Amino acid sequence: MNLYIDFDGVILDTIPLLDRILLERNIDLKDEYKKREVYARLDWEKIVNETPQINDSIKHIDRLRKSNKFNIAILTHVNSMQEAIAKINYLEKELPDITKIIVPKEISKAKMLETKNAILVDDYGVNLDEWSKEGGISIKFSTKVDKVYKYKSISKLDQLLDLF
């Protein structure tokens, strides 16, 4: 079974840091164009190397890999080539034998791959909605376990072993 795991907000906790940078620069968090402009100029090597993992994500991905239940790939949106390189460098260091798929932010993740019966673990509802609409299996990742979501939710990646 194909399993695609998002990077930002699932593997690394980059979202709060990025939001803080935007707010410091008086950028509206809903202004996608201005957000992308700022993201394109950031030091992504520093961001990915200084941002903490979420709930031991790397260890859990390794556990999923060793289970042999899934064909695992990391599927991440990027706003710039520098961001793509930094993420790939990080993942090569931490998970060298896992496939990495980089998707330009302007393109839906669901348009890049065969989604039918494939799992996407993502923290962003729009990505999950698009994935589900294309016949995929959407799993919401959230550290807020007490909240009810539209999709099955997990707070640690190895919880997928109990679901599939």
Q: What pLDDT, in 10s, does the model give residues 113-144?
A: 999 999 999 999 999 999 999 999 999 999 98
* 2-5/119-122 β-pairing: parallel
Work out the average pLDDT over 101-121: 96
pLDDT, mean of residues 48-61: 96
- Between CA 54 and CA 19, with CA 129 as vertex, the angle to 5 degrees is 45
Q: Above 80 in pLDDT, residue 146?
A: no
The full set of domains in the chain, from first to last, is 2-13+52-163 (3.40.50.1000), 15-48 (no CATH)
How many Cα neighbours within 13 Å face the side chain of 136?
A: 26
Asked whether the predicted pLDDT for residue 110 surpasses 90, the reply is yes
Q: How far is CA 91 from the centre of its chain?
A: 12
Half-sphere exposure of 71 (CA within 13 A, CB side): 4
pLDDT at 13 over 80: yes
Mean pLDDT of the chain: 95
C-alpha 100/C-alpha 72 separation (Å) is 9
pLDDT bin (cut points 50, 70, 90) of residue 149 is confident
pLDDT for 17 equals 94
Alpha helix positions (H), 68-123: 81-94
> How many Cβ atoms are within 10 Å of 161's Cβ, its own excluded?
13
The whole-angstrom separation of Cα 144 and Cα 43 is 29
pLDDT for 12 equals: 98
pLDDT for res 3 = 98
